[in-house]
Structure 1
Amino acid sequence: MAYFTATGPDAFTPTEHVGGAWEVSEQHIAPALGLLVRAVEADRDARRDDGLVLGRCSFDILGTVPMAEVTVAVRVLRPGRTIELVEASLAHAGRDVVVLRAWLTRPADTAAWAGGALPPLPGLAETEPFDGTGTWPGGFIRSVEIRRRLLTQGRAQCWVRSHHDLVADRATGPVAATLGLVDVANGLATREPPGTLAYPNLDLTAHLFGPTPAAREWVGFDTTVTFGAGGVGLTSTVLHGADGPFGTVAQVLTLRPVGG
């Protein structure tokens, strides 16, 4: 099982498991984000052999994506020996629908200085199985396994994993596999039912400071959702693996009363 099948060197067709949560006729954007990260890593590995690591991935979501073939393209905006800025775009019918700008940096052994004050996430045994399909429709939500501890309205601690490959019969690294899940954060700690208020995200920015879980492993989400009074919201998440925090995610939301 996979989210996409390759239909050309840079072309991919979604499977039923990509169906969106806001509209089932549209793609859930999460797998598309993973597809762009996979393209950036493939381009990096084709050009150089020093294993630059991704430190920031900032995605701008320019529009909705139908359940149809998409293409990806990559270009280097700022080449460098130890640091690069790379841009990747995902397009449908010649129109860009997601643009990624990724900073890559030279890896180094800094284990002697590693640490931080981010609080730990409760383990799997302390979270309950959660059926996300009770709130959200679509093939993508059906494809993931979720365990959740709901602390209060708009605040949840969760573990999420998928048993699906990103692209059928194609290798995918752990960063692309993980970032192909993280857009789910906006639906894990709902402040309002989606039938009352729509709150799609316009972007997603991930900062990574540690190794990401391997494909098919659990990814932890310590998520807080905040709604402002002027139509803008924010979903903030600390990402966790089995060994602790490894990154953060922020998503800006446009708030739209349903039927208003």
Structure 2
Amino acid sequence: MTSSQEATQAEDTAYFRRIKPIEMTEDVRTSYFVSTLHAQGAWQEDELHMAPISGLVAAELEAYQPRNDFITTRISFDILGKLHAGEVKVVTETVRPGRTIELIQSTVYAQGRAVLVGRTWKVIASDTSRVAELTDAPLPPVEEAEPWDGMTDRWPGGFIRSIQVRTFPDHAPGHGRAWITSDLDVIEDEPTSPFVRLIGLADTANGLAPLAEPTTGDVFFANVDLTIHFLREPVGEWLGLSIAANIGQTGGGITSAVLYDTDGVLGRSEQSQTVRITE
């Protein structure tokens, strides 16, 4: 466990704390944070869980040159190395500017190297209600789901202990339906929008209904990326997931999910896994 984690107190109310003023150089935004124990990962004690660090990146992307006439249609994350706990730097910049479409990128640095890249496509908002149609099945409301401790039974780490999960009776390995939320802010003393909060929970799909049982200790199935496609901007504090997991025969796996918020279908997520038998 790092010294930064050891210094974390139980009363922390966020996953990260800002430790330096924001730097703006031309069109580049640089922010500095330190993680709390709540952001701790499930595979190793000294690494970050992908969920809260993706929420942190979402917060930086949201804060960078905001435009009220745009909506986010996709956000993708590629893990470039170990997500070290402790101090991280996030550098955000425009990759492709435009009047109706733009691409923005955030790069996370830890221990002197880039460890995560997040990119978001934003497009001009318009009224498409005349042709709007949703074909994904609805998810029953969170009030009809039951509290579930299957995450804490399977997974260690500070992040897992920070979340609340509710599932339905048909929740099973490879096919799961759940609602998930957290009472913690992503950044201490800064408001967490529904966009940031729900992105900061989406990575849990990989561990909510796994085909392989992590408690046996003989299989490893970490995801190397996360991609979320949106139909609209998220609302509320609960993220719903209808999950389908698949593992191939040559070391690859895919976790897919239809995403929901309190207004209904929100979008879809995909995670590719590196699957390894360790014994």
Identify the TM-score tier after normalising by the shorter chain: over 0.9
Is 2:17–2:34's contact at 8 Å kept on the other side of the alignment? yes
Residue 7 of structure 1: aligned partner: 19
- Specify every segment of 5 or more residues in structure 1 that has no aligned partner in the other structure, as ranges: none
> Secondary structure of the equivalent of 1:115?
coil
Residue 104 of structure 1: aligned partner: 122
Equivalent of 2:64 in 24, 43, 52:
43
Relative to structure 2, which stretch is displaced further, 168-177 or 241-250? 168-177
- Counting only pairs closer than 5 Å after superposition, residues 12-161 of structure 1 correspond to structure 2 as 12-45=33-66, 49-131=67-149, 132-149=151-168, 150-161=170-181
> Secondary structure of the equivalent of 2:64?
helix
Output the CA distance in 1 between the equivalents of 2:274 and 2:65.
34
2:272 counterpart of 1:252: yes
Relative to structure 2, which stretch is displaced further, 232-241 or 205-214? 205-214
* Pairwise CA RMSD: 1.3
Is 2:102–2:121's contact at 8 Å kept on the other side of the alignment? yes
**Cα gap change, 1:14/1:229 in structure 2, threshold over 3 Å: closer, same or farther?**
same
> Secondary structure of the equivalent of 1:53?
strand
Q: Could you tell me how far 1:125 is from its partner in structure 2?
A: 4.0
**Cα gap change, 1:223/1:87 in structure 2, threshold over 3 Å: closer, same or farther?**
same
Residue 25 of structure 2: aligned partner: none
Name the amino acid aligned to 1:146.
V
> Secondary structure of the equivalent of 1:32?
helix
- Specify every segment of 5 or more residues in structure 2 that has no aligned partner in the other structure, as ranges: 1-12, 23-30
Is 2:171–2:178's contact at 8 Å kept on the other side of the alignment? no
1:158-190 CA-to-partner distances (Å, cap 9, x unmatched) read 000000000001133221111111001100001
Is 2:198–2:238's contact at 8 Å kept on the other side of the alignment? no
> Secondary structure of the equivalent of 1:255?
strand
Output the CA distance in 1 between the equivalents of 2:231 and 2:219.
34
> Secondary structure of the equivalent of 1:245?
strand
Output the CA distance in 2 between the equivalents of 1:146 and 1:258.
29
Output the CA distance in 2 between the equivalents of 1:79 and 1:93.
30
Relative to structure 2, which stretch is displaced further, 118-127 or 97-106? 118-127
Q: Could you tell me how far 1:103 is from its partner in structure 2?
A: 0.5
Residue 218 of structure 2: aligned partner: 196
Residue 206 of structure 2: aligned partner: 186
Name the amino acid aligned to 2:156.
P
Matched residue count: 254
Output the CA distance in 1 between the equivalents of 2:123 and 2:49.
29
Is 1:160–1:220's contact at 8 Å kept on the other side of the alignment? yes
Output the CA distance in 2 between the equivalents of 1:153 and 1:35.
29
Residue 241 of structure 1: aligned partner: 261
Q: Could you tell me how far 1:75 is from its partner in structure 2?
A: 1.4
**Cα gap change, 1:22/1:143 in structure 2, threshold over 3 Å: closer, same or farther?**
same
Residue 3 of structure 2: aligned partner: none
Identity of aligned residues (%): 39
> Secondary structure of the equivalent of 1:109?
coil
1:37-58 CA-to-partner distances (Å, cap 9, x unmatched) read 111111122xxx4442111111
TM-score normalized with structure 1 length: 0.94
TM-score normalized with structure 2 length: 0.87
